[in-house]
Structure 1
Amino acid sequence: MTTRPAAPSTSRPRSAARVLLGAFMTLAGVGHLTFQRQEFQAQVPTWLPVNRDAVVLGSGVLEVAFGLAMLSGRRRRTVGLALAAFFVLIFPGNVSQYVSRQSAFGLDTDQKRLTRLFFQPVLVAWALWSTGALQRQGAPGRPGAGGGRRED
């Protein structure tokens, strides 16, 4: 019989941060698919030879999925790692928006667009911390070893 490793421990602040990020991701994904499609198209790198609308729709579906996964609280560690990777993968779009001086989401000056770039690492850290993705796993009950609630 195989046992699964214990889930990373959680706390109320971590859980609240995870739920808040999940709600944010779900709303952002819905925005991609509906009322903010044109705004999000400004973040698709200009050098990328793809249909901007297809990229926005695809990333919207992913963001809704990430949001719902964060809200569910299941497989927190895996979801946190995947969401952090997603934030890293979409960073070139933010750089492109800055370099090409595309205005969207109120980012209508170079200073605002530059400031936005520094927020991406915050999102990566938020995804990792709120899900306990970087906590060590080990035997349940060992302090710091992820001996908290089970993920599933």
Structure 2
Amino acid sequence: MNEKNAEKIARVLLGGALIFAGVSHLTFARKAFRAQVPDWVPLDIDDTVLYSGVAEIALGSSLVLTNEKHQQTVGKVAAAFFTAVFPGNISQYVNKRPAFGLDTDRRRLVRLFFQPALVYWALKSTNNKV
């Protein structure tokens, strides 16, 4: 498999994961996602979960459907999104809020180290320099 095909597979997998996560925000995992909304967010907590779900569906769809001309831009937007939602993961850890099987401080702490991997994945799978 060449590098271009590997990037495309990685990009489509990330996009699919974002679409799934976005749909889960709107449906079966809606309550669990509330655990990640920091207290300082000025919007209603449920609205925040819904809006972020819509954003994830749009972003995931963009990753899946983007053409070569726009994929670097979409990758940068995805990386920025993963960076922007990171405070929610920190909030879940600091406030000891269980969700998604993250029911111990250790599990919530380990989760924090996956966010940089998502940023890297978004950039690398869209032919951005990392």
TM-score range, shorter chain: over 0.9
TM-score (norm 2): 0.93
In the TM superposition, what whole-angstrom CA distance separates every residue of 1:116-152 from its partner, at most 9, and x where no partner exists? Answer: 00000000000000001227xxxxxxxxxxxxxxxxx
Residue 101 (str. 1) matches residue 96 (str. 2): yes
Q: Provide the rounded CA distance (Å) in 2 between the counterparts of 1:97 and 1:117.
A: 10
Residue 118 (str. 1) matches residue 113 (str. 2): yes
Aligned partner of 2:40 among 47, 56, 59: 47
Aligned residues: 126
Q: Provide the rounded CA distance (Å) in 1 between the counterparts of 2:94 and 2:127.
A: 34
Q: Return the offset for 1:114.
A: 0.1
Code of the aligned partner of 1:51: D
Equivalence for 1:79: 74
Code of the aligned partner of 2:121: W
Equivalence for 1:148: none
In the TM superposition, what whole-angstrom CA distance separates every residue of 1:47-106 from its partner, at most 9, and x where no partner exists? Answer: 334311110100000000011111113211110000100000000000000000000000
Give the 5 Å matches for 1:24-35: 24-35=17-28
Query: Per the alignment, in what secondary structure is the counterpart of residue 42 of structure 1?
Result: helix
Unmatched runs of 5 consecutive residues or more in structure 1: 1-9, 136-152
Equivalence for 1:3: none
* Percentage of identical aligned residues: 53
Code of the aligned partner of 2:29: Q
Q: Return the offset for 1:12.
A: 1.1
Q: Provide the rounded CA distance (Å) in 2 between the counterparts of 1:14 and 1:111.
A: 32
Residue 64 (str. 1) matches residue 57 (str. 2): yes
Unmatched runs of 5 consecutive residues or more in structure 2: none
The runs of at least 4 aligned residues of structure 1 exceeding 2 Å deviation read 46-50
Residue 92 (str. 1) matches residue 84 (str. 2): no
Residue 38 (str. 1) matches residue 31 (str. 2): yes
Greater percentage in helix: 2
TM-score (norm 1): 0.80
